[in-house]
Structure 1
Amino acid sequence: MKTTMTAVVAALILAGCGGEAAAPSGDASATTVQANAEFARSLPLADPQGFEDAKRGFIARPTGKILAADGSVITDFDAFNFIAGDAPPTVNPSLWRHAKLNAQIGLFKVVDGVYQLRGFDIGNMTLIEGQTGWIVVDALTCRETAAAALAFARQHLGNKPVTALLFSHSHIDHFGGALGVLTPDQVKAGVPVIASNGFMEEATSENVLVGTAMGRRSAYQFGKNLERSAKGLVDTGLGKGVGYGTFGVLAPTDLITQPTEERVLDGVRIVFHNVPGAEAPAEMSFSIPALKVYGGAENLAQTMHNLLPVRGAKVRDALRWAGYMQDALDQLGDAEVYVGQHNWPVWGHDRIAAFIIQHRDVYKYTHDQTVRLINAGLTPSEIADQIRLPKSLQTPFGARGYYGDLRHNVKAVYQFYLGAYDGNPAHLDPLPPVEMAKRYVALAGGADKAVAAAQAAFDRGDYRWAAELLNHVVFADAGHKAARELLARCYDQLGFVAEASTWRNSYLTAAAELRGGAPKQGINRAAFVDMLAQTPIERFLEAMAAGLNGPAAEGKDFKINLVLTDTKESYVLWIENAVLHHRRAEPAADANATLTLTKAFFVRMMAGTVGAKDMLTSDELKVSGSKIDLARFLGLIDKASGTFPIVSR
């Protein structure tokens, strides 16, 4: 939250309003009710423009559910029907307004020849009408949601073929459903797939190396396991929810490599603009001059974006992002409608220009003022507590922090230039969390005294301090039930006042896990097999090296040949100084073992759908040399489950 958070919520939550009774679990406390009421009075929440835009061009709304092959629910079109009327006390009123806007789901006509499907997934599928069929912009997250969206469009607009598929950028919620839009045979037959330079490398690599940790943390960011309710998930900032189904990708047949390039697709002239290295490593916006349409990809959305996602990623360049927004003004031409791959459109040239300027200046102000305070010697947390956007940038709803958050983005700018270390030598080699927690709890006089102090802070409405105290108690003694429950209640209140959906979802997921424990099941790697099939083998070998248990590998000198029969690739893997290396080469004569198999089987092995025992006994591969040494080698590579605890140890 911005100045409103400082002036209202900070006054109540940081200092406390005093004297209230402890709130029952899951209810909004008096402090939270008062904070959200003050927040509501500070903003023109009744402004109808957003609702007019979000509903404009409505054609039809889907009903029922989108199911996975196993019968599990991927998308429930009625799950967010509770989002209506005034904000309940358990939701920040600004976020509630945004959630109501994102709840306008279905098929919409943007202008003649351009349609959007919203609410099938976290992102939008945009359809451009060509001479013979549909040019599809973005394929959503998974095969199931993409297929359902396209089928719904054909039901209402006509059963036309897909004549081109465009990927706006390299994040999975924009390409993961590719196989629900086109088949590989259709692509081979000549249907173009267009993306920006570097798309495949970025699309297939982002989640391979640290995908387990990123996937675990993404459940916090997107509220994956929260109930859909006023006390749980109400929005993700970019849309209602992520489609967790079957993921795939199609390799582009045509890459946009220059800053600006044109294509004529199915009779439609489209001008593409390369915008890499800001919101995504590979990204492109586009214009359709004949229709006066500008597509902003994800550099533009109806929210301040992340410079560093809560789930984790490489830090994004705020200065470059602001520069792309200035370029967008120059590229806008006489466009009369903006379409984004999240949220809803904007109509009117002047309104679009103002929208772009607001985003340009949010990122530029965040960058410049963070750098100014860096040079004044402030630390990330100090800068985050001090920076406030000017009033002119706080007012527009389309640039408020529903997905990104100013305080988090400030820390991202700091990290981009100086790293996470704040320069204080006390933070060069701090104790690990559990050891630190034990010493703080001992200093407080024991867990019970620390909990009592936290309870007093909670009763004052000082939730940030109460959470700090209780976090130490829970890390020092994960079984302390009173500390866990009180910390969960702190997170409830912090979530209930958060304007950023990512913060709300993180707080409430933390509360749920303190009460119920970490999830029992990690990432379903089998759902990624179609996408992983397009991933270069080198990415898997890098991930294997990062999974090598170094202490266990000390003194080991295994050498393994890997031969892929279908792709005619051959690699030599070897351990040296407890490090796993690889090079592309002919099989080494002195290898302990040679593993010969197809890439498809290797991908299934890496996805965890076949185990080491199955691999060694399968008819689908051949092992020559020592099977025992091969098993020992594979046994040195950790298989992270993705269920590690986050809010306790």
Structure 2
Amino acid sequence: MAAGQASADGHFHPEGKPASRFTVELRNGVKKALPFEDVRDFEENERGLIAVPPFKQIMADAGHVAWDMESYSFLLQGKDFDSINPSLQRQAILNMAYGLYEVLPGRIYQVRGFDLANITFIKGDTGWIVFDPATAAETARAALKFVNEKLGERPVVAVVYSHSHMDHFGGVHGVVDEADVRSGKVKIIAPEGFLHEAISENVFAGTAMARRGRVQYGLLLARSEHGHVDQSIGKNVANGNTGLIAPTVDITEDFQELTVDGVRMVFQNTPDTEAPASMNTWFPDWKAFWAAEVVTGTIHNIYTLRGAPVRNSLNWSKQINAAIHNFQGVEVLFASHSWPRWGNARILEVLRAQRDLYANMNNGALRLANMGVTVNEVHNVYRSPPSLQRQWAARSYHGSEAINSRAIINRFIGFWDGNPVNLEPLPQTESGRLYVEMMGGSARILAKGRELIDQGKYLHAGEILNRLVFAEPSNQAARNLLADAFEQLGYQRESPSLRNTYLNMAYELRSGMQEGVMQSSSSPDVIRAMATDQWLDFLGISVDSAKAEGMRFTINLVTPDNGEKFLIEMSNATLTNIKGFTAADADLTITLDRSELDRIMMGTSSFEALEREGKVRFAGDRRPLAQLAGTLTQFTPDFEVFPGTRNARPAPAPAKPFQVVLQPVTTFVD
């Protein structure tokens, strides 16, 4: 069965199971507990619809499907699915909005459902100001074309990036020509630190994030009631050409006013919330507040499962509070995801719900930590107040209360729970073998696992079957039984990230890793935007210390076209660098323009080829460069989570020495 396709019965795997009676009972309990009678979100979601496009798919320039809303049409059949948490099903239906919407008459418009993020078009005196041009050029281009067809052709005069995640800037080439940016015809506005953060999060742990992102986002799960249904802030991630044009205007103040094409805007810098570099925008003349991704239709990730630095929940709450009190009289709330809200009372209800839950998660988790509750227990203890649990804007779709509470404790006091046995845990394979031996062998564990699953105790079953899988990777019966437990846990979860993670791992346990067309962010734009010291830091991460043991050398790197210089040193099997320095007695000095170094970083050339072209000069001993190349690790995002899940497949094409292989776009969305 190909990735993204469901089996004949709609399941993502031929050995998949329907929802158990315990999962159905949980679903029925959720239906009774939550306020499904509150339909305001649906009314707001439909308000202002101007037109729906005649197409449901957007093709990538490379020939594959970049975006496919049709694949989620099963959600609009009016059915309640036992295999989907009813709260998640509600959110998934809301995210089926697809078309051009008017947010503020004559001024603010959004195209929704063309990508993970909304694309917002602000009508200025002469042209469009585009807020967050989505992930891919193809989807952004389709959105601009649709807007111009329905509202009249207008040039794009400015682009605003709200923050440093790819789904908010990757499609920029679909709405503007870079030459117009360089000439000053089009402004690119972004928060301070945007360029650095947009690159760095995808470099240092990019391969690990890519592997984990495929799991969290369910990119290769079939789209069906048993598989992928939603991504909480949108349907999924577009699979097209990503790019990046550097900002020309940086927002550096906490609150900074600019007038662009006759539109007055106050930018609110909100660093260390959803992204390290982030900002909201207030339109004082229209009483409209663009909340970027700081406020959407869900509580967000304090810790995202793909991997990222843990975010600051308390600061997030304070930034929302700052918006409430600085932008008084707000009448329109809209954002990079989800749908707008109108009316001051309704908007304050949503803002306070999210403000209060971010603060409550922070305060509640730390209160429990100070009472001795550990990072490995808090998710079973912390609960948000009932008044927040019954507000849809505070539900755990993109971010899970359970995961966020653990992340908050980890941010403040780390991963250790205080128990010395957890300071230096055994490798899971060794731990698994010990547990299997002490539990009397695999047959007894399998029997107990089946008993626990028959009782609906899926987490308990996972606890023991996980040990068996690590102890006996080839025990397919154990793998299948653990997959059955994961599958029911996935059906039960409200958060798509948790659902996708359980269902992906169920698939891998049964059949190994899936393959499919994955988005790549290794575009020339991204490489050019990478600072040279970021590349050198990445090389340091790539060095295998065992291969570098005994090496000692220094290399000067000089790039005349941008006036930079670096001292690179290998000592104690560790590669370090410092900007602005060179050594008079360096073993080797390399001089080349940064524009030529880009070609090496992208893998389109090599030092040897550039030397033949006369584009690089070497002075001194060339051996350190060859030594360094021999220590570098080539990363690929296909490592195992459970042993024995890597399928036989052709080895990926090897990267060239010194090439930075940036990983799929899911490494730095959300």
Common fold by TM > 0.5: yes
Contact 1:58/1:109 (CA < 8 Å) preserved in 2?
Answer: yes
Q: Which stretch of the first structure deviates more once superposed, 362-371 or 241-250?
A: 241-250
SS in structure 2 at match of 1:131: coil
Alpha-carbon distance between aligned partners in 2 of 1:496 and 1:615, rounded to the nearest angstrom: 55
Q: Which stretch of the first structure deviates more once superposed, 53-62 or 553-562?
A: 553-562
Q: Which amino acid in the other structure matches residue 54 of structure 1?
A: N
Alpha-carbon distance between aligned partners in 2 of 1:275 and 1:369, rounded to the nearest angstrom: 23
Contact 1:366/1:409 (CA < 8 Å) preserved in 2?
Answer: yes
Alpha-carbon distance between aligned partners in 2 of 1:584 and 1:457, rounded to the nearest angstrom: 58
Is 1:65–2:57 an aligned residue pair?
A: yes
Q: Which amino acid in the other structure matches residue 99 of structure 1?
A: A
Contact 1:143/1:248 (CA < 8 Å) preserved in 2?
Answer: yes
**Counterpart for residue 501 of structure 1:** 496
**Counterpart for residue 40 of structure 2:** 49
| Structure-2 change in CA distance of 1:494 and 1:600 (3 Å) | farther
Alpha-carbon distance between aligned partners in 1 of 2:433 and 2:614, rounded to the nearest angstrom: 53
Q: Which stretch of the first structure deviates more once superposed, 64-73 or 415-424?
A: 64-73
- The Cα shift of 1:203 comes to 1.4
**Counterpart for residue 79 of structure 1:** 71
Q: Which amino acid in the other structure matches residue 27 of structure 1?
A: P
Unaligned runs of 5+ in 1: 1-22
Contact 1:246/1:527 (CA < 8 Å) preserved in 2?
Answer: no
Alpha-carbon distance between aligned partners in 2 of 1:601 and 1:473, rounded to the nearest angstrom: 52
Is 1:125–2:119 an aligned residue pair?
A: yes
**Counterpart for residue 91 of structure 1:** 84
Q: Which amino acid in the other structure matches residue 243 of structure 2?
A: G
Is 1:166–2:160 an aligned residue pair?
A: yes
**Counterpart for residue 9 of structure 1:** none
Q: Once the two structures are superposed, what CA deviation does each residue of 1:495-534 show, in whole Å capped at 9, x if it has no partner?
A: 1010011101111111122223235689765633321211
SS in structure 1 at match of 2:318: helix
Contact 1:303/1:400 (CA < 8 Å) preserved in 2?
Answer: yes
Q: Please, which of 92, 109, 113 is the counterpart of residue 102 of structure 2?
A: 109
Q: Once the two structures are superposed, what CA deviation does each residue of 1:211-245 show, in whole Å capped at 9, x if it has no partner?
A: 11112111112111111111111111110011233
Alpha-carbon distance between aligned partners in 1 of 2:538 and 2:514, rounded to the nearest angstrom: 24
| Structure-2 change in CA distance of 1:445 and 1:598 (3 Å) | farther
| Structure-2 change in CA distance of 1:26 and 1:583 (3 Å) | same
- The Cα shift of 1:155 comes to 1.8
Contact 2:375/2:416 (CA < 8 Å) preserved in 1?
Answer: no
Q: Please, which of 140, 145, 152 is the counterpart of residue 146 of structure 1?
A: 140
**Counterpart for residue 18 of structure 1:** none
Correspondence list, 1:610-649, <5 A: 629-648=624-643
Contact 1:522/1:641 (CA < 8 Å) preserved in 2?
Answer: no
- The Cα shift of 1:565 comes to 5.4
Q: Please, which of 157, 169, 183 is the counterpart of residue 189 of structure 1?
A: 183
- The Cα shift of 1:429 comes to 1.0
Correspondence list, 1:437-456, <5 A: 437-456=432-451
Q: Please, which of 18, 24, 41 is the counterpart of residue 33 of structure 1?
A: 24
SS in structure 2 at match of 1:290: coil
Contact 1:558/1:633 (CA < 8 Å) preserved in 2?
Answer: no
- The Cα shift of 1:570 comes to 3.5
- The Cα shift of 1:348 comes to 1.0
Contact 1:525/1:607 (CA < 8 Å) preserved in 2?
Answer: no
Is 1:517–2:516 an aligned residue pair?
A: no
Alpha-carbon distance between aligned partners in 2 of 1:153 and 1:535, rounded to the nearest angstrom: 33
Q: Please, which of 203, 207, 219 is the counterpart of residue 214 of structure 2?
A: 219
**Counterpart for residue 155 of structure 1:** 149
Contact 1:263/1:269 (CA < 8 Å) preserved in 2?
Answer: yes
Alpha-carbon distance between aligned partners in 2 of 1:397 and 1:496, rounded to the nearest angstrom: 20
**Counterpart for residue 7 of structure 1:** none
**Counterpart for residue 545 of structure 2:** 550
- The Cα shift of 1:183 comes to 2.2
Q: Which amino acid in the other structure matches residue 572 of structure 2?
A: N
Alpha-carbon distance between aligned partners in 1 of 2:44 and 2:586, rounded to the nearest angstrom: 65
| Structure-2 change in CA distance of 1:252 and 1:590 (3 Å) | same
Correspondence list, 1:423-502, <5 A: 423-502=418-497
SS in structure 2 at match of 1:648: coil
Alpha-carbon distance between aligned partners in 2 of 1:603 and 1:188, rounded to the nearest angstrom: 19
**RMSD of aligned residue pairs (Cα, Å):** 2.3
Contact 1:434/1:476 (CA < 8 Å) preserved in 2?
Answer: yes
- The Cα shift of 1:610 comes to 5.7
Alpha-carbon distance between aligned partners in 1 of 2:349 and 2:597, rounded to the nearest angstrom: 51
Q: Once the two structures are superposed, what CA deviation does each residue of 1:26-65 show, in whole Å capped at 9, x if it has no partner?
A: 3211211221122122223243211111111112223142
Alpha-carbon distance between aligned partners in 2 of 1:67 and 1:570, rounded to the nearest angstrom: 43
Q: Which amino acid in the other structure matches residue 148 of structure 2?
A: R
Q: Which stretch of the first structure deviates more once superposed, 59-68 or 493-502?
A: 59-68
Is 1:421–2:413 an aligned residue pair?
A: no
Q: Once the two structures are superposed, what CA deviation does each residue of 1:475-508 show, in whole Å capped at 9, x if it has no partner?
A: 2222211111111111111010100111011111
Q: Which amino acid in the other structure matches residue 139 of structure 1?
A: P
Alpha-carbon distance between aligned partners in 2 of 1:337 and 1:221, rounded to the nearest angstrom: 32
Unaligned runs of 5+ in 2: 1-13, 645-670
- The Cα shift of 1:609 comes to 5.5
Contact 2:112/2:119 (CA < 8 Å) preserved in 1?
Answer: yes
Alpha-carbon distance between aligned partners in 2 of 1:371 and 1:234, rounded to the nearest angstrom: 34
- The Cα shift of 1:292 comes to 2.0
Alpha-carbon distance between aligned partners in 2 of 1:394 and 1:563, rounded to the nearest angstrom: 57
- The Cα shift of 1:373 comes to 0.9
SS in structure 2 at match of 1:136: strand
**Counterpart for residue 204 of structure 2:** 209
**Counterpart for residue 541 of structure 1:** 536
Is 1:301–2:328 an aligned residue pair?
A: no
Q: Which stretch of the first structure deviates more once superposed, 81-90 or 296-305?
A: 81-90
Contact 2:220/2:516 (CA < 8 Å) preserved in 1?
Answer: no
| Structure-2 change in CA distance of 1:644 and 1:336 (3 Å) | same
Correspondence list, 1:332-481, <5 A: 332-481=327-476
**Counterpart for residue 11 of structure 2:** none
Q: Which stretch of the first structure deviates more once superposed, 590-599 or 97-106?
A: 590-599
Contact 1:221/1:506 (CA < 8 Å) preserved in 2?
Answer: yes
Contact 1:616/1:627 (CA < 8 Å) preserved in 2?
Answer: no
Q: TM-score, normalised by structure 2?
A: 0.89
Contact 1:132/1:266 (CA < 8 Å) preserved in 2?
Answer: yes
Q: Which amino acid in the other structure matches residue 67 of structure 1?
A: M
Q: Which stretch of the first structure deviates more once superposed, 541-550 or 427-436?
A: 427-436
- The Cα shift of 1:404 comes to 0.5
Is 1:567–2:567 an aligned residue pair?
A: no
- The Cα shift of 1:132 comes to 0.3
Q: TM-score, normalised by structure 1?
A: 0.92
Contact 2:242/2:521 (CA < 8 Å) preserved in 1?
Answer: no
Alpha-carbon distance between aligned partners in 1 of 2:305 and 2:296, rounded to the nearest angstrom: 18
**Counterpart for residue 5 of structure 2:** none
Identical aligned pairs, as a percentage?
39
Alpha-carbon distance between aligned partners in 2 of 1:336 and 1:401, rounded to the nearest angstrom: 26
Q: Which amino acid in the other structure matches residue 71 of structure 2?
A: A
